[in-house]
Amino acid sequence: MADIERAKVLIELRRLDEARAQLAAVLAVQPDNAEATTYLAQAAYLDRNFAEAAVQSAAALRIQPRNQFAMRIHALALLNLGPDARRQAQEVARRAVALAPEFAENHRILAIVLRERNNLPEALAVIDRAVQLDPDEADIHLVRGSILRRLGRCGDRLRPGPAAEAYRTALRLEPENAHAVHDLAVVDLNGRRLRSALRGILTAATMDPRLVPLVRTNTATVLRLAMRRVHWALVIIAWLTVVIGFQQAGDDPARDSSYLNTPGRIAGAIGLGGLAVLSAWWVRVVPRRRLRFVLAASWSNPATALRMVVLAVGLLLCLVGVAAGIRASVELALPLLLVSGVILRLRRVS
């Protein structure tokens, strides 16, 4: 059995090809070894070869029908193989719970299956039972947080909801859990706590490079929402600048209506300066070594890139108008920002 023990260690280290070689050597001698077949299924699942994982776990169950580990892998593998397989996954997960209802891990897998089948109320009840059975298991609280997040219990900008509490419990139990850090950041994103969301997302990518593709997408989403706030703040600044800066033409050539008056230019300068200070404070959450990654992630996302271009054009027009006192420049920026903001909102780009 030494080869199986070595294979288990290799699987934990994600050296899956070496683990498979060890297990194949065992099965060449003992083709009916259920334990080796189960770990072969686990290696295939971790390698995202879900069809192979389902085949191997089913083989293990034929040899050892009450093998709970094989049942859990089989349920998770089937969950990734289409609608019919998903229904079967639920049956397998329920069978594991019925076989050993005192084992929290069986409840956790059933909760995952129910979550993916969008049966969220029952999934929450099942994972709550898992918490009762094993309150010190971080993965259980991680699944509970994901269910609460899908139920919309993320809180608001001022008060985090129960989903955040579940992820924080997972992190208290396992501080180095990158998935918990990332998912807590997604809860902050859903609750529109954008600065803490960006910080958490970037931290998760540093902790686990495998999360980088997901982090790239979520980074673009956070920045798009942040730029939307800047966009509408700029609309207000442009409007106030035009209203306050209006002046009547008269005999005095200095009172040319095509220019902003001094109070209008001061109002615009104060507004743009405040927006710049606030933006600089907000962007400080991004480490310098991650700045290029953040910019690349934003530019590679079409919706975020479009928002960046629109905002840059509007900001440039406002800056020129305030700096040179040209009223037409700000008047052009105002409808551009207003109309584009509405269009982007209706298209759900923002």
> pLDDT tens, 284-307?
888 888 889 999 999 999 989 999
What pLDDT score was predicted for residue 252?
Answer: 46
Is 318's pLDDT higher than 90? yes
Mean pLDDT within 204-209: 89
Mean pLDDT within 245-261: 64
**H helix runs in the chain, sequence order:** 2-12, 16-29, 34-46, 50-63, 68-78, 83-99, 104-116, 120-133, 138-150, 162-173, 178-190, 194-207, 212-244, 262-283, 288-300, 302-324, 327-346
| Structural domains in the chain plus CATH codes | 2-210 (1.25.40.10), 215-346 (no CATH)
Tell me if the pTM is above 0.75: yes
User: For every residue of 11-49, which 3-state class applies, written as one string?
Assistant: HHCCCHHHHHHHHHHHHHHCCCCHHHHHHHHHHHHHCCC
Mean pLDDT within 31-41: 91
* Percentage of the chain lying above the pLDDT 70 cut: 95
Mean pLDDT within 110-137: 95
What pLDDT score was predicted for residue 349?
Answer: 46
What pLDDT score was predicted for residue 250?
Answer: 44
Model confidence at 249, pLDDT cuts 50, 70, 90, reads very low
Residue 36 has phi, psi (to 5 degrees) of -65, -40
What pLDDT score was predicted for residue 255?
Answer: 54
Task: Give the integer Cα–Cα distance in Å for 302 and 168.
Answer: 33
Q: 187, 167 in Cβ contact below 8 A?
A: yes
Model confidence at 251, pLDDT cuts 50, 70, 90, reads very low
What pLDDT score was predicted for residue 66?
Answer: 92
